[in-house]
Amino acid sequence: MIKLAPSILSADFANLGNDIKRIDQAGCDWIHVDIMDGMFVPNISFGMPVTKAARAYTKKYFDVHLMIQEPIRYVKEFKAVGADMLTVHVEACEDVQATIDAIHAEGMDAGLACNPETPVEDIVPFIDKVEMILIMTVHPGFGGQSYIDECTEKIEIVNAIVHEYNLKTLIEVDGGIKVDNVCIPLDAGANVIVAGSAVFGGNVKENVKNFKEQFQNFED
């Protein structure tokens, strides 16, 4: 089943609890939580306290995306505030496997992300070591960017490896995704879709419904 993971970075932070309830009730599958440290990416979003507060408003799977340098330092803390999965960047980890192992040791699922300019070869050795690969389809840390078409080939390559070795690894895409272009990553093999303003902008229930209708065209 293809999953929709709205990014709460696009929510109204003055009404975060209500916005999380809205996407929960609208039928989203996961909640995508973007953590930025101002070092790995230029912007700062929020950290453990907001994640903990958000967790209280839903029982949905918490997909926490750490855009932070050396995320191994904070694995235990994010487990404590309710993360179900921690996704770290291959570019941000001195020891990728040790970071994955630390996440698994805390009983969480592990994801591995790569930026648009990062060769897909950098993540290939870890595809069978994690529960999910995240292909960034915009440059992380900035909102309002357009989907980078060149990233589609990365999705196809990861998808081919997943199928060749009969893996259960999920493929998530994040960046510039809207209802009218979501078919591109889906056709390439993505099965977890992160969307921000395309979900939170306007009628949330209608937006979720529109995404789900697109998903049906790609589900077995």
17 known ligand binder: no
Residues 202, 86: Cα–Cα separation, whole Å:
29
141 known ligand binder: yes
The DSSP H or E segment spanning 97 is helix 96-105
Burial class (CB in 10 A: 0-12, 13-18, 19+), 151: buried
Residues 39, 23: Cα–Cα separation, whole Å:
30
82 known ligand binder: no
107 known ligand binder: no
63 is catalytic: no
65 known ligand binder: yes
34 known ligand binder: yes
111 known ligand binder: no
Choose, from 19, 37, 84, 174, the residue flagged as catalytic: 174
Choose, from 19, 29, 34, 37, the residue flagged as catalytic: 34
Q: For the stretch 1-26, what's the b/e string if a residue is b when 16 or more beta carbons lie within 10 angstroms of its beta carbon?
A: ebbbbbbbbbbeeeebeebbebbeeb
220 is catalytic: no
- Binding residues for substrate, by number, are 7, 65, 141-144, 174-176, 196-197
- Binding residues for a divalent metal cation, by number, are 32, 34, 65, 174
- Binding residues, by number, are 7, 32, 34, 65, 141-144, 174-176, 196-197
Active-site residue numbers?
34, 174
